Amino acid sequence: MDVRVCFVGDSFVAGVGDPGHLGWTGRVAVRTPFPLTRYVLGVRRETSAQVARRWRAECGPRLPAGSRNAVVLSFGVNDTTLEDGRPRVRPQESVATLDGVLREVPWPVLVVGPPAVDDEAQNERSAVLDAGFARVCAAAGVAYVPVLEHLRADAVWRREVRDGDGAHPAAAGYERLARLVEPAWRGFVHRLADG
């Protein structure tokens, strides 16, 4: 059984800030009870629009015919960052972009929502995305893992983010995020392996 998963998204997917260099993707992978080829394709500062432009070119060579392939998507926080007083991407565009990607990805997909940062106004904007992402995932029959409200209320996550760069946690925070993703991940990856 040859399971390969591309994790595509932003700096949280890349695990920025984790001195253990696993991030949440490595933490869920380590606890997956069979070998898994994990391709981490998170890029710092990228918005939904930027991820949408590269997922195909980067996942293609990594997910060949003959292996059991899947994609995990996670982006959105950078969309809600203000530039000149406006979000980098308008929420309805972020949601439409995810919807478009879901229509095109030829592999099973799991979507993980945007995490919380140390800025409540930005978290409020991310909450709008979170709701929109949940809606388009439901309509597409794709599992969606909301993490924003859990992490907003998580003292460990909030402290590490605040002590860090205001956006990224350290090891314990990534462990919290991994635990939030894990139930959905387990179901997803087992269906992939058994399918």
Q: Which residues bind a copy of itself (CB under 8 A)?
A: 4, 14-17, 19-22, 26, 29-30, 35, 37-40, 43-46, 50, 54, 57-58, 61-62, 64
Closest approach of Cβ 178 to a copy of itself, in Å? 12
DSSP secondary structure string for all residues of 70-93: EEEEE--TGGGSEETTEESS-HHH
Q: Choose between 19 and 141: whose C-beta lies nearer to a copy of itself.
A: 19
Phi then psi dihedrals of residue 98, to 5 deg:
-60, -45
Q: Choose between 44 and 90: whose C-beta lies nearer to a copy of itself.
A: 44
- Choose among 177, 186, 189, 71: nearest CA to 117: 177
Closest approach of Cβ 134 to a copy of itself, in Å? 28
Q: Choose between 112 and 142: whose C-beta lies nearer to a copy of itself.
A: 112
Q: Choose between 2 and 120: whose C-beta lies nearer to a copy of itself.
A: 2
Q: Are 172 and 154 within 8 A, CB to CB?
A: no
- Residue 52's identity, in one-letter code, is A
Closest approach of Cβ 174 to a copy of itself, in Å? 13
Closest approach of Cβ 62 to a copy of itself, in Å? 6
Q: Choose between 13 and 137: whose C-beta lies nearer to a copy of itself.
A: 13
CA–chain centroid gap for 148, Å, is: 11
Q: In what order do the strands lie in the sheet with 68-74?
A: 36-42, 3-9, 68-74, 109-112, 143-145
* 65 Cβ contact partners less than 8 Å away, ≥ 6 residues apart: none
Closest approach of Cβ 16 to a copy of itself, in Å? 6
